[in-house]
Structure 1
Amino acid sequence: MKIALEALDGDAAVLRLDGRLDAAAAPKVQKSLEEALAQGRAHIAVDLDQVSFIDSTGLGTLVSGLKASRRAEGNLRLVAPGAQVRKLLRLTTLDRVFTVSETLEGA
Structure 2
Amino acid sequence: MFELSVENTGGHVIHLKGEIDIYSASDFKERLYNSIGEGGQDVILDCSDLSYIDSMGLGILVGALKRIKQQNHDIVIKNPKSTVRKLFRITGLDKVFIMEEAGA
Measured against the shorter chain, the TM-score band is 0.7 to 0.9
What is the letter of the counterpart of residue 84 of structure 2? V
Distance 1:95 1:78 in 2: 9
Q: 1:6 to 1:41 in 2, by over 3 A?
A: farther
Equivalent pairs, count? 103
Cα shift at 1:38: 2.2
Instruction: Indicate the SS of the match to 1:88.
Output: helix
Partner of 1:8: 9
Distance 1:7 1:26 in 2: 23
Partner of 1:61: 60
Quick one: percent identity of the two aligned structures? 31
Partner of 1:95: 94
> What is the correspondence of 1:1-107 to structure 2 with a 5 Å cutoff?
1-9=2-10, 12-103=11-102, 106=104
Q: Is the 8 A contact 1:18 1:51 kept in 2?
A: yes
Distance 1:14 1:31 in 2: 16
What is the letter of the counterpart of residue 94 of structure 1? L
**Normalised by the size of structure 1, how large is the TM-score?**
0.86
Give the superposed CA RMSD.
1.6
What is the letter of the counterpart of residue 92 of structure 1? T
Structure 1 segments (4+ residues) deviating >2 Å: none
Q: Give the gaps of 5 or more residues in structure 2.
A: none
Q: Is the 8 A contact 2:47 2:77 kept in 1?
A: yes
Cα shift at 1:21: 1.1
What is the letter of the counterpart of residue 61 of structure 1? I
Cα shift at 1:82: 0.7
Distance 1:8 1:68 in 2: 22
Cα shift at 1:5: 1.2
Distance 2:83 2:35 in 1: 26
